[in-house]
Amino acid sequence: MARITIQRDGLNLVGDREEPFGEIYDMAILMHGFTANRNTDLLKQIADNLRDENVASVRFDFNGHGESDGKFEDMTVVNEIEDAKAILDYVRTDPHVRNIFLIGHSQGGVVASMLAGLYPDVIKKVVLMAPAAQLKDDALKGNTQGAIYNPDHIPAAVPFGDKKLGGFYLRTAQVLPIYEVSQRYNGPVSIIVGSNDEVVDPKYSKKYDDVYSNSELHIIEGSDHSFTGEFKEQAAQLASDFVRPMF
């Protein structure tokens, strides 16, 4: 594993790159969720599985998360898409990489789905794990995971645990064309969600399945939003099997 740092608009984004064997290989970009980081048990398990299947991976911290630069308060889904695009640019310049896959969990799933919609000619496969498209409806209602605010008069920042959620995050969330952009991607998509997801209603995953032309939906019975405990292996296996090399 190699630590990498990629610049995006003056911010350093920190990631880990897993190398497989051989001169030419496929590469997956792994994206974590809201308030998480690149080293969640789920993403590490997927990266390990992919390496065993001879698929390279890059998992990175979004701006304002983990070891990457930036303040959490300044993070938006829009600038996370810019982060992901910087990683994609890095991967695309690698002469060893053949096919590029995106795998995103929660808000990282929204970012992956929209990036694929912007680069449908570049991305070969997409895996969305408990994709958090609900974040738009939450912002329209004025309740983001327990942070309450007036959706018609959003303040500059909203207290969120020991952090602050930026008002611009919420304002942009209200108007994100999540499904409209995502459905521009016509390649193979696997959507994985827990039946007991307590953060994002599984109906948002079902809507992704409806708008895509080439998708499969896996509902893991009993699993929560983060696929914790016994569900981690199952979710990670579904994700890595979907992008495993065909030969």
Give the pLDDT confidence score for residue 52 in this predicted structure: 93
Give the count of domains, the chain. 1
Residue for token pair 């792994």: 30
With beta carbons less than 8 A apart as the criterion, state whether 125 and 242 touch. Answer: yes
Let me know if residue 247 belongs to a domain.
Answer: no
CA dist., res. 229 & res. 27, Å (int): 27
- Give Dmax over CA atoms of the chain in angstroms: 55
The three-class DSSP label of residue 236 is: helix
Domain that holds residue 93: 2-242
CA torsion angle 100 215 192 125 (round to 10): 0
Give the pLDDT confidence score for residue 245 in this predicted structure: 80
Q: pLDDT means per 10 residues in the chain (247 residues)?
A: 96 96 94 98 97 96 98 98 98 97 98 98 98 98 97 97 96 98 98 98 98 98 97 98 84
Give the pLDDT confidence score for residue 70 in this predicted structure: 98
Residue for token pair 């398990």: 45
Let me know if residue 202 belongs to a domain.
Answer: yes
User: CATH number of the domain that 180 lies in?
Assistant: 3.40.50.1820
Let me know if residue 163 belongs to a domain.
Answer: yes
Let me know if residue 32 belongs to a domain.
Answer: yes
Strand partners, 192: 129, 218
CA dist., res. 12 & res. 65, Å (int): 11
Let me know if residue 122 belongs to a domain.
Answer: yes
Give the pLDDT confidence score for residue 247 in this predicted structure: 58
